[in-house]
Amino acid sequence: MGAANCSPGWRRAPGYLWNSPFLLLSLASLFWALNPIVGRAARDLLSPLSLAFWRWVVALLFVLPFAWQHIVADRLVLRESWRLLAVLGVFGVGVFAFIVYWSLQLTTATNSLLLQSTMPVMTLVMPSILFGERIRPLLVASATLSFTGVVWIVTRGQPFALHLGGLNHGDLLALTGVFLYSAYATFLRKVPAIHHITLLAVLFAVGMGALAVPYLVSLADSGVATPRIEVISAVVYVGIFPSLIAYAFFNRAVVLIGSVRAGVYMNLPTVFGVFLAVLLLGERLETYHMVGAAIVVAAIFVSRRAAAGQTENRGERKP
C-alpha cells in the first residue's frame, strides 16, 4: 500500500531533478565543495597525480556498465568528433583534476574555494572571446554580485583585505584550474548530439588515459603504497560525487540553460564549503557568512530573472 501511494511522486522526482537546472547545479556545487576539503585532507596520504588518476578510474568503473550500450550506439558520432572530445577530456578532466589537487598541496581549501568564485566571470568572458557572443548586462551584474558575496565571506566582511599580491603558487595553480574548467564549460556546447552517459564515459576515459603514463612513471620512482581506509575513502568519494554525479548534473544543466548562466552557480561551492567547515570542523557561523551567502543566492535569482525575461521577450515576438 505504501508503494502504491508513493510511486507516482517517486517516479516524478527523478524527472523533475533532471529538468531543473537550479537543483542540478546546486547539488553539483555541494559535491564540488567537498572535493577541495577531501583533497586538502588527503594531501599527506596521496600525491596529486595519484588522487587525480584514481578519481577517474573509479568514476569510469561506475559509469561504464551503464554507458556501454550508448557508446556502441554513438560510435559513429564519436569517431567523427574524437578530436574535440580528446581535448575536453585531457584538459577539462585529466589535467584540471591534477592541477586542483596539486594546488591543494600549496594552499588551503578555503583559498581554493575562493578562487573558484572567479569561474562565473571567466565563463561569461570565454564565449565572447572564443565565439564573439554578446554578454547581457544583467548576467554580468549577477556574476559580479555573486563574486562579491564570496569575497565577503572569505574576507570576513572586509573585502578590501583581499589583494592579488598575496597569491602564492598554489593560488596561481588554482586559478589555472579555473581557466581550464571555464574553457571546458564553454566548449561543451560544441559536443555533438550523443547520450549524456556516453559523454561522461568518454571524458572520464580520456582524462584517466592522459594521467596514466605520468602515474606509472611516478610508481616506478616511488613504488606502490599500502592502501589505507582513509585513502580508499577519499578516492571513492572524489571518484563518485564530484566526478560522476557532479559532472553529469553540470553537463545536463549546460544543455538546459547554457554555460553562461550555469557559470553563475559556480560560486555556490565556496558558500557550501564555508558552511561545511562549520558543520564538519566546528568553526563558528558568523554574521558575515550569512551576509555573503545571501548575496550569492541573490545573484542566482538575478540570473534566473534575466533568463525569464529573455524567454518572455521571445514569446512576444510574432513571425
Whether 7 has a pLDDT exceeding 50, the answer reads no
Higher-confidence position of 169 and 64: 64
Residue 287 lies inside a defined structural domain of this protein? yes
**DSSP letters of 145-174?**
HHHHHHHHHHTTT-GGG--GGG--HHHHHH
Reading the block at residue 63, the C-alpha cell is: 559509469
> For residue 241, what pLDDT is reported?
93
3-state SS, residue 319: coil
Q: Considering the chain, what is the average pLDDT of its residues?
A: 78
* Cβ atoms 127, 186 nearer than 8 A: yes
> For residue 131, what pLDDT is reported?
73
Residue-wise pLDDT for 16-49, tens only, equals: 778 888 899 999 989 988 988 888 888 888 899 9
* Cβ atoms 109, 236 nearer than 8 A: no
> For residue 285, what pLDDT is reported?
67
> For residue 210, what pLDDT is reported?
94
Q: Cα(249)–Cα(208) distance, rounded to whole angstroms? A: 20
Residue 89 lies inside a defined structural domain of this protein? yes
> For residue 68, what pLDDT is reported?
92
Highest mean pLDDT among 188-197, 219-228, 274-283: 188-197
Highest mean pLDDT among 29-43, 123-137, 167-181, 273-287: 29-43
Residue 316 lies inside a defined structural domain of this protein? no
**Identity of the residue numbered 38:** V
CA angle 185, 186, 192 (to 5 degrees): 90
pTM of the model: 0.75
Q: Cα(87)–Cα(166) distance, rounded to whole angstroms? A: 32
Reading the block at residue 233, the C-alpha cell is: 575513502
**DSSP letters of 37-94?**
HHHHHTTTTS-HHHHHHHHHHHHHHHHHHHHHHHHHHTHHHHHHTHHHHHHHHIIIII
Q: Cα(254)–Cα(187) distance, rounded to whole angstroms? A: 11
Residue 263 lies inside a defined structural domain of this protein? yes
Residue 3 lies inside a defined structural domain of this protein? no
Residue 15 lies inside a defined structural domain of this protein? no
- Note the maximum CA span of the chain: 68
Number of domains within the chain: 1
Q: Which of 92-96, 176-180, 207-211, 219-223 has the lowest mean pLDDT?
A: 219-223
Reading the block at residue 21, the C-alpha cell is: 537546472
Domain that holds residue 245: 22-310
Angstrom CA distances, 312 to 258, 315, 317, stand at 17, 5, 9
Residue-wise pLDDT for 225-283, tens only, equals: 667 888 899 999 999 998 888 877 887 888 888 876 776 777 788 888 877 767 775 65
Residue 229 lies inside a defined structural domain of this protein? yes
* Cβ atoms 125, 132 nearer than 8 A: no
Residue 158 lies inside a defined structural domain of this protein? yes
